[in-house]
Amino acid sequence: MLAAQASPGRDRDRLVRAYLPLIGSVARTYVGTGNVERLELMQEGIVGLLRALQRFDPELGVSLWAYASWWVRQAMQQLVSEMARPIVLSDRALRQLARIRAAERRFAQEHGREPTLRELADSTGFSLEHVEALACAARRPRALEERVGGEPDDGAALGERIADPRAEDAYELVPTRIACTQLPTLLDALDDRERGIVRDRFGLDGEARTLREVAEDLGISAERVRQIEQEALEKCRTAASDCARRDR
């Protein structure tokens, strides 16, 4: 082992080969916890072993694997966290998640359906709250631009379903941020179709309507409605700026 520590070469290669079965046993813990192949886990495990080898002190009186196993797990955990989800989970949480995934597979094979969170809690011995927390952390991240209606031209993006008052500005809230006396002037800057879309989308004549609803009435795609709406709002913003300059 001292020769393997000293420099790369045959001794280090032999040491790595000797520890491959142990590295493989750790890799099995993380298989299925993300979009990571076993070969990738093994490669990261070897990197962890070599890091441990550089830092290992034989005079500590412990075996190399007793010291290196943490480094191997840490390397695999980092890979899984980076590849599978934006939330970095602890080694313990990843092992628990792997246990939940194994329970899911067993349940599906035995019952022919996916288990509920309660059934997973009963199967693993974890609390329902803990299973829910791990399930949330393991979910695939979704982009705010992702369409949620199942059709490519569906105007309902995920970001449109999430309200964030701090992110709203005067441009996005033209109908509610301007004075009522200015509204007719701004709408006069639009053509009939643009004016109708703005009225429908912001509920100026009643309840606000979705892009899909407006699109069905006009016989065009929801994406086209969104484009017209943005063009109309740009005209409104320009008209509002002109009004402000005249009032100065």
Do 114 and 176 share a structural domain?
A: no
Tell me the average confidence (pLDDT) per consecutive run of 10 residues in the chain, 248 residues long: 66 88 89 75 90 84 88 85 63 80 88 89 90 77 60 58 57 49 73 89 83 88 88 84 69
User: Model pTM greater than 0.75?
Assistant: no
The CATH number of whichever domain residue 207 belongs to comes to: 1.10.10.10
Ramachandran area for residue 192 (φ above 0: left; ψ -120 to 50: alpha; else beta): alpha
Would you say residue 168 lies in a domain?
yes
Domain count, the chain: 3
84, 115, 131 - which closes a domain: 84
The CATH number of whichever domain residue 45 belongs to comes to: 1.20.120.1810
pLDDT of res. 24: 92
Contact 224, 232 (CB under 8 A): no
Q: Return d(Cα 202, Cα 200) in angstroms, integer.
A: 6
Would you say residue 151 lies in a domain?
no
157 - beta bridge partners? 147
pLDDT of res. 22: 94
3-state DSSP assignment of residue 157: strand
Would you say residue 40 lies in a domain?
yes
147 - beta bridge partners? 157
> Alpha helix (H) ranges present in 56-208?
64-84, 91-111, 117-124, 128-138, 174-177, 183-187, 192-201
Would you say residue 152 lies in a domain?
no
Structural domain span for residue 210? 158-247
Q: Return d(Cα 32, Cα 138) in angstroms, integer.
A: 11
Do 62 and 120 share a structural domain?
A: no
